[in-house]
Each structure stands twice: as structure tokens, then as C-alpha cells.
A and B are shown apart, each in its own frame.
Chain A
Amino acid sequence: MSKITRRRFLAGSAAGGAAIMLTPAKKALAAGSFEGFPDGMGVLVDLTRCVGCRTCEAACNAEQNLPEPAKPFDDTSVFDEIHHGQKRRTTDKAYTIVNRYEPKDSDEPVYRKIQCNHCNEPACLTSCFVNAYKKTPEGAVIYNEKVCVGCRNCMIACPFHIPAYTYHSVLNPVIKKCIFCYDTRLKEGRPPACVESCPQQVMTFGKRKDLMVIAHERIKKNPGKYVDHVYGEKEVGGTGWFYLSSAPFEEVGFDVNLPKKPIIDNVKDFLAIVPIVLTVWPALFTGFHLLATKGKSHGHGDDHSHDEQEGH
């Protein structure tokens, strides 16, 4: 809880900073009323199909020209790795990874692929004060590395802990994350490399709204197989990638305490006040000050205490 509060606070202050810089920009004012692009693409991820072969990781590495991994992609010992007390997470060298979970009531392990969920209203975008992030009409959340100043606000803002940082880069450290293969594939209407590579079609690519229908149909068609919930349909205002699972989502690494509203809703009211504070308050309080001190400077000029107060 304290973690979320801290994140909210930082995201809020970052967004506030962004608002101060970008007050005249239409984007800052329009944010929060946006409900996703109507034809935005998405990916339905069915955890029940994943067998943990890590082919998606290899495909991502090749497609995005990422550096050589520490271990081969067919090495399943990575599922036992624990870093800083946690399972593997996305890094600047691996935009997607698969983790293994052992839910309580299941004999078989459950594998879960992790990558950017391409939120309808991304918190990373909200938190970025140089406007490096963009949600494209095709559904991808992409970012402009050239303007990234390396503040890492997006890393704190992201509810899924996705953006990673090139800490090893001395001169120009930047954020790195999954971009839905936007440059090489999505732009042309093709599915991302991981989706195409999957032998089990864990991931189904299509228009988000069509896939949502299929997701609910799968739950209906297979009574007892799935948890009756599509993770990402409502979470943080809806995500472009959403999930079906046979095990409770909290047992396979999902944060089930996320708000249903976009992260920006936490700071929207605050953001709306910022322009008012910046424009109206100075004028208003200068006026009060002038009214309050009107006439006082005459006839009381030799009063030292008043002089001191007015000095401020």
C-alpha cells in the first residue's frame, strides 16, 4: 500500500511538473477523457496454453536486435532464477520474458509472458515531462529515445514495472521497453514477432474490441477452465494486451489491486487546477496584497515592523 502511495505521489508530482511545462499544449488538457483508439490492435494472452518454451523471448531478441542473452533461449533453468528476491523481469536487453508460477490448486506449473501491456491510457506517458511517449492509433505505446532525458519517472509510474533503463550506458542512458514491434511490424498491420513465433498461439493478435469478445467467449465455452475475469479489460483503464488464466491471477504474478481507472485519473483533478493556480492566483493575491497594504505605506512609513513584513 505504501508502495502505491509513493508511486502515486511521484507520478503525481511528475505529472504536475509536466503540466506546468506543457500547460498550453492540448494533449495535457485532453488526457483523461480518452477511451482508446477504436481500431487499436491488441493481443489476447491465454496463459492456459503457454508451455514455457521461451520461443517468444528468442523472437523478440532477434526482431529488436537485442544483445546476446546470458543463457540460450531453450534453457529452462532461467525459471529458477531469483533476482533481488523476485522472479525475472523485463530489462533493457530483454523486452519480454516468461516466468513460471506454481499456483496452489494446480499440479501443473503456469507460465506467464511479461511485456509492455500497451495501456489505453499509459501512466508512463502521463509521467513523461518531455513527451517522449506516444500511444499510436494502432495501439502501441512507443517512445522517442532521442528526447528521453533519463529521468526514469516512467519506471516509477508504470503499474506493471515494465520500462527498463540502460544503466550500463555512461553517456546517454535511456529507457528501453517493448514497442509492440511498431516500427517493423505493427505499422504494417502485422503481429509482433513474439505472437507470430509462438507454437501454441498463447497470444492472439487482432483488434482489441474483437479479441475482448473472443476472450469472454472462451470463458463461456469452457466452463470451469478459466477464472471468470479478463485481466486488462478494466485494469488501469484497459490495456492493449489482456489475459486469461486458469489459476487466480494473484497466484501467477499479477497485481490484482490495481485501480480500474487509468493512473492519470489520480492526478487529473490536480492537473486541472494547475493552470488556474498559475494564472489566477498571482493576479488575485497581488490584488489582495495591494488592497490590504493600500494607504498603509502612507503615514506609517516609520513603523519598522510593517516595513519588514512588506519586504517579503
Chain B
Amino acid sequence: MVNASKQLIAGLGVLMLFAVLSASCYAMDYPDEVEIDSLANLYEPVVFDHAMHVDATESCAECHHHTTGTEVINEYCAKCHTGTVEMDAVSCQDCHSADPVSPENLHHPKPGYSYHNDQPNLKAAYHLNCLGCHQEVGGPTGCEDCHVKTEAGDKFYRSGEFAPKEPAHSSEH
């Protein structure tokens, strides 16, 4: 009798564990679309088709390193992040600062995390992650394949209506 109730409790425990695990690993709540707009200036915000990329990749960790609870792929991250724990910080900008070299950040660097000393800034985190993979798998790699240039962008790059007028002869000396 005692044994049976013990087994029942253990069984329930195991079931609950499975429920928690499956919720965190396989039925994760993620947005189908993400508008990446925090840095938009020279280009329009990127409307990122998250659902398509979830289908196209084998694991969340391909982009999200060690934060989504799936097994860590990057060997360097895996040196410390061995577990499969979902973290509160999942989006790029939760960890990658837009301005890590501001005078304040340079004079008061974040303590600890000595292995995070070479962390790309937010803009680079996006581009290195997206473009790096696109180059490998043959995805689109042109700037305007992902985001359309704004008027400010045309002005900055001297393109479009701000393009230099055709010179009569080369301006080289």
C-alpha cells in the first residue's frame, strides 16, 4: 500500500517534470514576426519573419546561443552554459548593448563575465548573426534585401536622388 502510493507520487512527479520540460523546450511561446526597429535610421525597420526562420533552422541555439533552453551549439558558449535553462533575456538587445563604447561604458565596464569581453554591439550582433548565416546557407546578403533605405540613408550614401551628378571627366588628379 505504502509502496503503491510512493510509486504514484513518483509517477506524478515525473509527469509534471515532463510537462515543465516540454513547455520550455518544445512548446515555447515565440512571436511569428518581429519588427526590429530600435536602430532604424538609414534603413527602414526590418520585419523579421521569425516563424520562417524557426522552420528553417534546426535549433533555437543557432541564433539564441544559450538563452532559449535548447542545447548550446557554440563550443565557446558551451564551456560554461552546459544546462538547458531558458533565460529571461532572449532578444538580442537584452544582452547586446547598442552603444558599448560610450564613454560611460568604457570607464565603468560591466563587472564579471570575463568571457563576454568581446561581445559585439547590437548592430553587429544582428548583422554578424544574420549575414554570417546567410553567407553560409546562401540566403540574401544585399543590404536592401532585408531593409529598404530611407531618405536619410540615400542622403548618407549619396545614392538615389542624392547621387553625384555624372562628372564631365574623372575627378582624379
Interface size class of A (residues with CB under 8 A): 35 or more
A253 is an interface residue with CB less than 8 A from chain B: no
A161 is an interface residue with CB less than 8 A from chain B: no
Tell me if A73 and B127 are in contact (CB < 8 A): no
* Interface residues in B125-173 (C-beta closer than 8 Å to A): 126-128, 131, 135, 141, 143, 156-159, 162-164, 167, 170-173
Tell me if B158 and A68 are in contact (CB < 8 A): yes
Tell me if A205 and B101 are in contact (CB < 8 A): yes
When distances are taken between beta carbons in the complex, the residues of chain B under 8 Å from A217 are 117-118
Contact of A200 among B127, B170, B171, B173 (CB under 8 A): B127
- 8 A-B residue pairs with Cβ-Cβ distance under 8 Å, sorted by A, are A49-B128, A59-B156, A70-B164, A70-B167, A73-B158, A83-B172, A108-B135, A201-B128
* Interface residues in A54-78 (C-beta closer than 8 Å to B): 55, 58-59, 61-62, 68-75
Chain A interfacial positions (CB closer than 8 Å to B):
49, 51, 53, 55, 58-59, 61-62, 68-75, 83, 93, 108, 167-168, 188-191, 195, 198-201, 204-207, 214, 217-218, 221
Q: How far is the CA of A221 from the CA of B173 in the complex (A)?
A: 45
The verdict on A51 contacting B131 (CB below 8 Å), with A74-B159, A198-B124 known, is yes
Q: How far is the CA of A187 from the CA of B104 in the complex (A)?
A: 14
Task: Report A20 CB to chain B, min CB distance, Å.
Answer: 33
Could you tell me how many residues of chain B have their Cβ less than 8 Å away from some Cβ of chain A?
Answer: 31
Q: How far is the CA of A221 from the CA of B76 in the complex (A)?
A: 8
The verdict on A72 contacting B76 (CB below 8 Å), with A51-B141, A83-B172, A201-B124 known, is no
- Of A51, A168, A188, most B-chain CB atoms within 10 Å: A51
Tell me if B164 and A68 are in contact (CB < 8 A): yes
B24 is an interface residue with CB less than 8 A from chain A: no
Tell me if B173 and A189 are in contact (CB < 8 A): no
Tell me if A189 and B158 are in contact (CB < 8 A): no
Tell me if B172 and A72 are in contact (CB < 8 A): no
Tell me if A72 and B106 are in contact (CB < 8 A): no
Tell me if A72 and B141 are in contact (CB < 8 A): no
When distances are taken between beta carbons in the complex, the residues of chain A under 8 Å from B101 are 190-191, 195, 205-206
When distances are taken between beta carbons in the complex, the residues of chain B under 8 Å from A205 are 101
Q: How far is the CA of A204 from the CA of B117 in the complex (A)?
A: 12
- Extra contacts besides A70-B164, A218-B118 (9): CB < 8 Å: A51-B141, A68-B164, A71-B164, A74-B157, A83-B172, A167-B173, A168-B173, A198-B123, A201-B120
When distances are taken between beta carbons in the complex, the residues of chain A under 8 Å from B163 are 72
